[in-house]
Structure 1
């Protein structure tokens, strides 16, 4: 069948680009025709080729595909084999670039081109034997209520999935207990077994009514030419049930009544149902952190419109709306306080346990609780652009991601069921043909089928990742993906930026020395240049000048010179304000003996004219280390990690802070482009490096590092470049993040050990006749519960 795939290409800017992309796509095996339209930036590719191969060709040509992320629930999965089959089926759909199934949440995360329809995705999942749940679109409506718009609409009220599964467990158990209890009489030489008819009557509903789900899922797996846990259970219990029927109906009445195995098939099904019930209850707890974040979203807001306050749906808020928040209400969007003051609880967002006082000009974060005062604020980020929405997306992304170790599990899962079926067949044949005991052969083959634990294998990694990233989010640590978790376990060298990371980032101007002008004139010039800069030192100059009530002068041709300072025209004069490094480049000799503040950050004011520079003034700033910084450094060093500082500040200022905190290494006067090279130099020495920063100038270094950690109190650029984000400006969270990552990865290894151990030990024991089917069923049920319960231990971690 000929398929035409439409792709949106990013990065093309000329006909040569279009030709290069077209050539790259045409070279992919299976492509019969490829055409690229530069005007629309679209490519049309004809041929039965996976979209992933097309994306690889575009990337190799130096361009990118435009894509979007979607997430759907999938019904009917029971083990790692199911998850793998859903992924494979979706990856065959034209336009699907990546698919990752999380068995613990029963969801699939997709990366798609814009041309993929929901129906094609649903059909692909249906072809694999499962159901894709297409999320309904909930319309946010406003209904007049006399005083203005009111939010309307309700979410569907559904029982939790583990509550929906309680009836089958209870029903199967009530029918199974009369079959199993008489077996205890055999321990005392008493035959309490029910007549064959009553055994059959009790076992049949368990087998075909309560166990119908296993037959349905197993049949879908067979139709998809694959296998899963349900197929193993249905084959195994059907064999025990069928053997019992055969022995019952072949009894001629001349010999002792045969032992039937209805209790084995019923008990195995009941135990597996119980195991899935307990597993789902435990799995639900792994999503508690994400659910807690979702619950922070307010449904309504009070907004000023048309001269009155109205109650509207929170989703209806727009940027720059004026919003009122009463005491006890949640803040419905990010914004800036314009009236009132109050204490605000941001514990579930940033992990900050102490309420923060907010007043006019302060920033508010949506989802936080207004505690004791009336606040009015201007909405700045609403809906999907709010900080809370971004946090939720990051947590979802991390919990849906696969750890690198999962690749091994996926490979094993692909062959797991066929191998188990082969072992069960060999067990039957050996016991039947070699040992001439077909009855025991069937029972031991059943035990092999039932003891196999593909569920535990599928849950081992995602359960731990969900619990670990959820715990991290609760403590104000956001993890971008599972790869970051693994990388964090290898870190042996941490590099901190200085300003705003190890220090408060709010320096104060403590010394002003004028050389060629009056102090008033020097301060006025510096004030005029600094008002246009966002640099912390510039803000300190502005604050000092305002306190001194210095008149603000006019400047023109203002320019920021990256890593050096600022330059502008002050009247007829060209004035520069910046670092000592820049002043020396301008040919100035600096009177450093005039610096009176130990460890100060220093800026110099100079005038340039006709290639000559003249020094006008000296500014000394103090930025003290954060109270938590020294303890943060010590915690890292106790873990055997070397700690360094990388800063563009002066050597004297950097050395002063480094001595205060007990840092192992320090590099000062490093330009932004030099920070990334400094990280590369450390990596060249064999270290695994984590970079911690908060500014735009830290972004290259964050990207270069093996692990980038950004302070959310800094810039959006830094956060985007990092693999981890600390919601509070507390450097102690760095050690906590590394500790949690190590605990999570250790938990994954433990889970995989137990998942493999159950199979490696259990299957041979079952094949040798050392496990009866009931014990095998109990072991299988326990394996999944054990894995998820072990993962939940991460939720008890505290820092």
Structure 2
């Protein structure tokens, strides 16, 4: 494989992932007769609105509705039945087409399900009603036909919108890479070339603020690189000649030249893409409960319908009576309630969650969240703010903390280094006025020296003093360093005045989030690439009993799999690109909203407010949603179990025979009960 072609591989993977997502959508909704998921959603939407527009006139022209409203004399006119037939034919042909083609697909695959039942129901209602219009004695059911098709189109439209767009996740990854690079020739001349034309051994100039186009090693210059979007590391990483840089990383303030080491599928980013792709492809495909119930209902309705037709004919009843029994069975088995049982609850659940800062992307995973036993948090950017800040200040006995912070912030105020920015930010947060420094000078790699209000002020590393032969006997220095924190020392007039410990700032909401999960019986676990000391300190601060430290970015998904192999049902909460495979591998992937696009697109749920406490809200809402779905499914199936035998004529000897009109009314009542029960979800409040 040539290198240019290899570099194009991520884009090929995007296309493959798009095809995979379409296959999933087609498998879930093969009845729609479309090859593109987005087009399928738009098509159902168009059909729904047209059918909705035709529904009022069909209702008003239907004799049963006219009689019920007492408007028969007002609305009935010559040719009323033909107009009703024409409108209903449009709805049946145009609105019902996805279900009819889906029925043919299920028939070819020998897997009758929801589409078969809907197709049989609307076809029986339509053709029986048409026969009545043109002379058969009986009652037409055009109103039932159009409302059934409208409700089914709405339900499937809502359902398909929840299918995950897997291809966008990989597109988000690819967008991290620049399209062009500044290639240097042997004479040092610079030329802008397509990034996919680079080959190992080429030298590339990375300007300040630019992204690295491919994996490579620093050949000349020094700079810091922000790899947070790739590794989740909160601090920019300093790189010097010989150090490895990752394609997609953002260069800091220094210009460097790198030597290309890997392109195409061998780059770190391409490997992350492949992990996401494999995790997506290996996911279990949960079969919808409503479809399984509809499959059984299909057989029951078909057997009961045609069985009742044959039985009553053999029993000597008239053809009209027998066909009415069959029509009543088919009409009462119309899956209004069953079709709405899941999508309607999901619609209310989605609205409710959005109001609480949650965006549900994968319905099936969200529903599975009710059974979670462990919540794995990525540390950087999730439990922490992802920024370097002052966590501790230790001053000498006679020093004032605010005063020492003022001197340190002044000395660091003109520096772009993360430590300097953290100290300055700490002073601003406390409302401390920072005086301008004079004669600022960097101490290469070890600190800064400045004159502040006539005093020499130094902010330096402990190693700087050690090399000068000075030791810091303060035990707090070792204690802070043992927690994995970066410590700098403030000297004024040559004497140590304060220790500043800097670390990734823990979100104030994280402690409450951990406590909420414990109350729910969920075990919080922290997953981080940081050192053991950092992980231990943060876990202790938050009350997390289990943590996994020093995890390389490409190992996170494997760690999630290991937890699942232990029998845990796992939610993964993260925000970085490196979290994407783990988000997909988990039973529930939850992304912090401020995270990168790929993390959001790979997740099942997005936390818009960057508040880890919303994880508990997700679990509570998931349990409430599932309870409503189960209640609706139980009602829809139990209703059919009772009503279908009655429709078939089991009560004939008692003097009561259910007519098609009564069956339709009962079916509508069942639908209303399901709809009202779904709306009760509006009153859900998270108690934790």
TM-score by length of 1: 0.50
Q: Equivalent residues in 2 for 1:401-416 (5 A)?
A: 405-407=286-288, 409-410=290-291
- CA gap of 1:272–1:132, structure 2 versus 1, over 3 A, is closer
Of residues 603, 627, 638 in structure 1, which corresponds to 2:486? Answer: 603
| Partner of residue 471, structure 1 | 352
Once the two structures are TM-superposed, the CA of residue 477 in structure 1 deviates from its matched residue by 0.9
Work out whether residues 699 and 721 of structure 1, in 8 Å CA contact, stay in contact via their aligned partners in 2: yes
Of residues 85, 108, 121 in structure 1, which corresponds to 2:31? Answer: 85
| Partner of residue 460, structure 1 | 341
| Partner of residue 614, structure 2 | 733
Once the two structures are TM-superposed, the CA of residue 731 in structure 1 deviates from its matched residue by 1.8
SS in 1 for 2:611: coil
Q: Distance in 1 between matches of 2:44 and 2:96?
A: 22
| Partner of residue 233, structure 1 | 125
User: CA RMSD, aligned part only?
Assistant: 5.8
Matched, 1:775 2:662: yes
Q: Distance in 1 between matches of 2:569 and 2:322?
A: 54
Work out whether residues 240 and 442 of structure 1, in 8 Å CA contact, stay in contact via their aligned partners in 2: no
Q: Distance in 2 between matches of 1:554 and 1:670?
A: 34
Q: Distance in 2 between matches of 1:178 and 1:497?
A: 61
| Partner of residue 594, structure 1 | 477
Choose between structure 1 and 2 for higher RCO, CA contacts under 8 A separated by at least 6 residues: 2
Once the two structures are TM-superposed, the CA of residue 704 in structure 1 deviates from its matched residue by 4.6
Q: Distance in 1 between matches of 2:81 and 2:523?
A: 66
Matched, 1:447 2:334: no
- Decide which structure has greater helix share: 2
1:47-71 deviation digits (Å, cap 9, x = unpaired): xxxxxxxxxxx98xxx953759999
- CA gap of 1:406–1:205, structure 2 versus 1, over 3 A, is farther
Once the two structures are TM-superposed, the CA of residue 447 in structure 1 deviates from its matched residue by 0.8
Q: Distance in 2 between matches of 1:738 and 1:421?
A: 40
Work out whether residues 272 and 781 of structure 1, in 8 Å CA contact, stay in contact via their aligned partners in 2: no
Once the two structures are TM-superposed, the CA of residue 750 in structure 1 deviates from its matched residue by 3.2
Work out whether residues 448 and 766 of structure 1, in 8 Å CA contact, stay in contact via their aligned partners in 2: yes
Work out whether residues 512 and 618 of structure 1, in 8 Å CA contact, stay in contact via their aligned partners in 2: yes
Q: Equivalent residues in 2 for 1:557-576 (5 A)?
A: none
1:325-369 deviation digits (Å, cap 9, x = unpaired): xxxxxxxxxxxxxxxxxxxxxxxxxxxxxxxxxxxxxxxxxxxxx
| Partner of residue 416, structure 2 | 531
SS in 2 for 1:687: coil
Once the two structures are TM-superposed, the CA of residue 233 in structure 1 deviates from its matched residue by 0.9
Once the two structures are TM-superposed, the CA of residue 177 in structure 1 deviates from its matched residue by 0.8
1:709-744 deviation digits (Å, cap 9, x = unpaired): 222234445434433221112221111112222333
- CA gap of 1:82–1:715, structure 2 versus 1, over 3 A, is closer
Of residues 502, 508, 513 in structure 1, which corresponds to 2:390? Answer: 508
| Partner of residue 21, structure 1 | none
| Partner of residue 172, structure 1 | 62
| Partner of residue 263, structure 2 | none
| Partner of residue 308, structure 2 | 427
Once the two structures are TM-superposed, the CA of residue 697 in structure 1 deviates from its matched residue by 6.0
- CA gap of 1:686–1:236, structure 2 versus 1, over 3 A, is same
SS in 2 for 1:755: helix
SS in 1 for 2:572: strand
Of residues 658, 662, 677 in structure 2, which corresponds to 1:790? Answer: 677
Work out whether residues 511 and 596 of structure 1, in 8 Å CA contact, stay in contact via their aligned partners in 2: no
| Partner of residue 693, structure 1 | 574
Once the two structures are TM-superposed, the CA of residue 796 in structure 1 deviates from its matched residue by 3.9
| Partner of residue 502, structure 2 | 621
Once the two structures are TM-superposed, the CA of residue 687 in structure 1 deviates from its matched residue by 0.9
Q: Equivalent residues in 2 for 1:156-555 (5 A)?
A: 162=52, 165-172=55-62, 176-177=66-67, 204=81, 208=85, 211-213=88-90, 216=93, 226=104, 227-238=119-130, 262=138, 265-266=139-140, 268-270=141-143, 405-407=286-288, 409-410=290-291, 420-421=301-302, 423-503=304-384, 507-508=389-390, 510-511=392-393, 531-533=416-418, 539-541=421-423, 543=425, 547=434, 553=441
Q: Distance in 1 between matches of 2:425 and 2:381?
A: 18
Q: Distance in 2 between matches of 1:508 and 1:454?
A: 61
SS in 2 for 1:645: strand
| Partner of residue 632, structure 1 | 513
Q: Distance in 2 between matches of 1:715 and 1:101?
A: 28
- CA gap of 1:645–1:689, structure 2 versus 1, over 3 A, is same
- CA gap of 1:627–1:589, structure 2 versus 1, over 3 A, is closer
Q: Distance in 2 between matches of 1:589 and 1:686?
A: 49
SS in 1 for 2:521: coil
Matched, 1:722 2:600: no
TM-score by length of 2: 0.56
Once the two structures are TM-superposed, the CA of residue 753 in structure 1 deviates from its matched residue by 3.1
- CA gap of 1:527–1:68, structure 2 versus 1, over 3 A, is farther
1:552-582 deviation digits (Å, cap 9, x = unpaired): 55688xxxxxxxxxx79999xxxxx9999xx
Matched, 1:65 2:9: no
- CA gap of 1:161–1:171, structure 2 versus 1, over 3 A, is same
| Partner of residue 654, structure 2 | none
Q: Distance in 1 between matches of 2:67 and 2:132?
A: 17
SS in 2 for 1:165: helix
Work out whether residues 707 and 723 of structure 1, in 8 Å CA contact, stay in contact via their aligned partners in 2: yes
